[in-house]
Amino acid sequence: MKVLIKGGRVIDPLNNLDKVCDILIEDSRISKAAFDIKNSADKIIEAQDKIVMPGLIDMHVHLREPGREDKETVCSGTKAALKGGVTTLLAMPNTHPAIDSLENVELLKGIIHKTAKANVFMVATITKGRKGEELTDIAGLKKRGAIAISDDGNSVDDESLMLEAFKKAKENNLLVICHCEDKLLSANGVVNLGFTSTRMGLRGISKESEYKRVERDIKLAEKVDASVHIAHVSCQESLEIIVQAKKKGVKVTCETAPHYFALSEEDVLGYDTNKKMNPPLRGKDDIEAINKALKNGVIDTIASDHAPHTENEKDIEFERAEFGVIGLETELAVAITELVNTGRLDWTGLVKKMSLNPAKILGINKGNLSIGSDADIVVINPDKEWIVEKQNLISKSKNSAFLGRKLKGVVEYTICSGKIVYKL
Amino acid sequence: MSEALWRRKDLLGLEELSKEEIELILSTAESFKEVTTREIKKVPSLRGKTVVNLFYEPSTRTRVSFEVAAKRLSADVINIATETSSVKKGETLIDTGKNIEALKADIIVMRHNCSGAAAMLARHVSISVVNAGDGWHEHPTQALLDIFTLKEKLGEIAGLKVSIVGDIAHSRVARSNIWGLTKLGAKVMVCAPKMLIPPAIEEMDVVVTDDIDEALKDADAVNVLRMQFERDEKAAFPEQLAYFKEFGITKERLSKAKKDIIVMHPGPINRGIEMSSEVADGTNSVILEQVTNGIAVRMAVLFLVTQGRETNNESTH
């Protein structure tokens, strides 16, 4: 099978490429990138005025399988990913059962093998049952295919246990992804602590509950020279800590999610539970700091934190509703609309954040269009506008924070391992 | 006049209301107060309408007040206490609301322990929703009756100094009073131990103090709030006796305030915690007048939301 993508603007930061050219795919790999390739391909994609970039790599996705197939499955979630231009994703381990044992890794691996439509890498838990009490068999989990460990949704409170986890991760060359939250400090809060929590009459989540834990986890990682990735950074103070650590040479990377730069705490004032997530939407200063950190590189990557929940779990009283929003189908368009069209990032910058950098963090040979690389490619119409509507979302859950919002940028083709797996 | 000004089907809080809308409720309440002085205390304004009181929290004063108000407007009233309803069987708030709507009721008056519950219900039903208190968020009719009482006593709200003392953090009455009073031009001070002051409350245009004498000094009125022990864990509150010593409204403290300072309380009072019995029953207290005024204010609200809904329906037909 040969696919030829003709005449698109090809963005490939690893190869310093931003120019109009053709790309030829043979079987599952990129075989040629040049101006006006003459070749009898099986399929020709006319990409004039389109952006051609490596497929997105999303480091933070909840596929909910096994256990909560009513919210999402590996199959439905990866289909949604492809529609959003995501060809590779990390599945978070807070499933039922959690991915905390060799058996459960094998279980998930089997489901992925049978049903995944995109590349799925598995994250295993740090502690058994994500309870923060006893470490998992980190070496074994790595051998069975885990690419990182995380108790996502929880932070390991016990400092010495967490240090031990970093040591084991280091020995096994595994990345530790940290959900940074001191639950004693976030104290059952549901929105940003401050004027927002006060005027809404709700319990607040302080920024301190996040950045104190960012500080601790970086300190522990530094002690044993382990690699740490801070998930869903939402506030200025966390970024300041990360900047200092990076300057010192600590192996720290971090992500933010689209809602943290595209929405603010004011969006939650109507008690819309699709604006309820953890960490919560923050204030104007934090949004400014996040935008700045995206620009200057302190934030390495944008991840969706795709967190599907059923309507039964969302259409209830605000404080009782589940935390989290879906994002696979909207993250690229939100980033184009809020970052590229506003001039905060150029296309090269966007591709770094959403494809090249996560590939580097994970140490996988993706996120580029080099000859011989896996042919994971997205073709985007960057000017087409669309409105996010429930009926157009293909994820099993519809809890998007961007419902009703007009966005710019539509994925026209997604190619995964050389096959056209999504077409508008 | 009212039709032009009032277009809302719901009353969810005072934050979202304009000064003019608040003034309209107050002036409408004034004419309804006259009704309550007649021998036959009833007008046909809501004849044929059904008001459902849906209370997820125990309440006597507010529920009875709404019931009396609705009956004086000739509406039929149904009370649902959630302990004895399908809510106990796990029905969601939206389902309960839609069922009440399907029974062709016209107004749901709801009290709920979750902030934002009234707003959520209002989004899902086309009938009127009146918030009778949602969590820590708002209790608009309580603030309206407080303001109505103040206006009756002092004539004009603009320029008054009103101090709100007590459990500000957990109080929907405080929040609604602050929005309403500041929109009408009053200077509002809140006074409590620091643990009962919610963060960034200054942004609601109030002055914060933890000195009760400062709060009472030059105040035209003081609104004293109950400690809402049922809303949080014990550690979120000060010790009762110590609180009374430092913040309780006593005759002695009042003697240093303006002679005719108005003392209000939304009830129920915890005598000996937030104020002494002497003060509660004293000449500065208007606590029982507040209760009476509550009827007129709630009549006005029920009347206006019905009008608002009918105006909306006409304009969409």
Our CA-based measurement puts residue A323 at a distance from the nearest CA of chain B, in whole angstroms, of 16
At A82-134, the pLDDT tens digits run: 999 999 999 999 999 999 999 999 999 999 999 999 999 999 999 999 999 99
Cα A371 to Cα A14, A32, A47, B246, B281: the distances in Å are 12, 6, 19, 77, 88
Strand, coil or helix: A312: helix
Q: Are residues B86 and B121 in the same domain?
A: yes
Q: Would you state the CATH architecture of domain A2-51+374-423? A: Roll (2.30)
Domain boundaries of chain A, sorted by first residue: 2-51+374-423, 55-362
For residue A205, how far is the Cα from the chain centroid?
22
The pLDDT of residue B4: 60
Task: State the pTM of this model.
Answer: 0.94
Nearest residue in A to B118, CA atom: A317
Retrieve residue A132's tokens: 């923060």
Q: Are residues B104 and B196 in the same domain?
A: no
Q: Are residues B131 and B147 in the same domain?
A: no
Residue B183 near chain A (CB below 8 Å): no
Which domain does B30 fall in, by range?
2-138+294-316
Q: Are residues B213 and B112 in the same domain?
A: no
**pLDDT tens for the 424 residues of chain A, in order:** 899 999 999 999 999 999 999 999 999 999 999 998 887 889 999 999 999 999 999 999 999 999 999 999 999 999 999 999 999 999 999 999 999 999 999 999 999 999 999 999 999 999 999 999 999 999 999 999 999 999 999 999 999 999 999 999 999 999 999 999 999 999 899 999 999 999 999 999 999 999 999 999 999 999 999 999 999 999 999 999 999 999 999 999 999 999 999 999 999 999 999 999 999 999 999 999 999 999 999 999 999 999 999 999 999 999 999 999 999 999 999 999 999 999 999 999 999 999 999 999 999 999 999 999 999 999 999 999 999 999 999 999 999 999 999 999 999 999 999 999 999 9
Q: Are residues B160 and B100 in the same domain?
A: no
The pLDDT of residue A295: 96
Our CA-based measurement puts residue B1 at a distance from the nearest CA of chain A, in whole angstroms, of 29
Instruction: Report the alpha-carbon distance of residue A77 to residue A62 in Å, rounded.
Output: 8
Nearest residue in B to A191, CA atom: B115
At A218-274, the pLDDT tens digits run: 999 999 999 999 999 999 999 999 999 999 999 999 999 999 999 999 999 999 999
Instruction: Report the alpha-carbon distance of residue A351 to residue A412 in Å, rounded.
Output: 17
Say whether A317 and B137 touch across the interface (CB within 8 A).
no
Q: Are residues B130 and B154 in the same domain?
A: no
For residue B179, what are the contacts with CB-CB under 8 A and spacing of at least 6? B13, B14, B15, B17, B138, B143, B204
Nearest residue in A to B112, CA atom: A317
Q: Are residues B151 and B133 in the same domain?
A: no
Q: Whats the size of chain A, residue-wise?
A: 424
> By C-alpha distance, which of B103, B32, B100, B24 is closest to B65?
B32
For residue A297, the one-letter residue type is G
Instruction: Report the alpha-carbon distance of residue A218 to residue A226 in Å, rounded.
Output: 9
Option in A195, A201, A315 nearest B200 (CB): A195
How many contacts, defined by CB atoms under 8 Å, are there between A and B?
A: 64
Residue A386 near chain B (CB below 8 Å): no
In CATH terms, A55-362 corresponds, of 3.30.70.2740, 3.30.590.10, 3.20.20.140, 2.40.50.140, to 3.20.20.140
Within 10 Å of residue A254's Cβ, how many Cβ atoms?
A: 28
Instruction: Report the alpha-carbon distance of residue A94 to residue A85 in Å, rounded.
Output: 24
> Using a CB-CB distance cutoff of 8 angstroms, which residues of chain A are in contact with residue B115?
200-202, 271, 318-319
Say whether B115 and A270 touch across the interface (CB within 8 A).
no
Option in A193, A195, A271 nearest B203 (CB): A195
Q: Are residues B24 and B120 in the same domain?
A: yes
Residues paired with A30 in a beta bridge? A25
Residue A66 near chain B (CB below 8 Å): no
Instruction: Report the alpha-carbon distance of residue B33 to residue B14 in Å, rounded.
Output: 21
Our CA-based measurement puts residue B131 at a distance from the nearest CA of chain A, in whole angstroms, of 14
The pLDDT of residue B1: 46
Option in B120, B137, B203 nearest A201 (CB): B137
Retrieve residue A75's tokens: 């199959």
For residue B17, what are the contacts with CB-CB under 8 A and spacing of at least 6? B140, B179, B180, B183
Q: Are residues B175 and B101 in the same domain?
A: no
Say whether A318 and B114 touch across the interface (CB within 8 A).
yes
Specify the number of domains making up chain B.
2
CATH code for the domain of B152:
3.40.50.1370
For residue B206, what are the contacts with CB-CB under 8 A and spacing of at least 6? B178, B182, B188, B189, B190
Q: Are residues B305 and B278 in the same domain?
A: no
Q: Which of A217, A305, A374, A376 is catalytic?
A: A305
Annotated catalytic, A70?
Answer: no
Q: Which residue numbers in chain B have pLDDT < 50?
A: 1-3
Nearest residue in B to A319, CA atom: B114
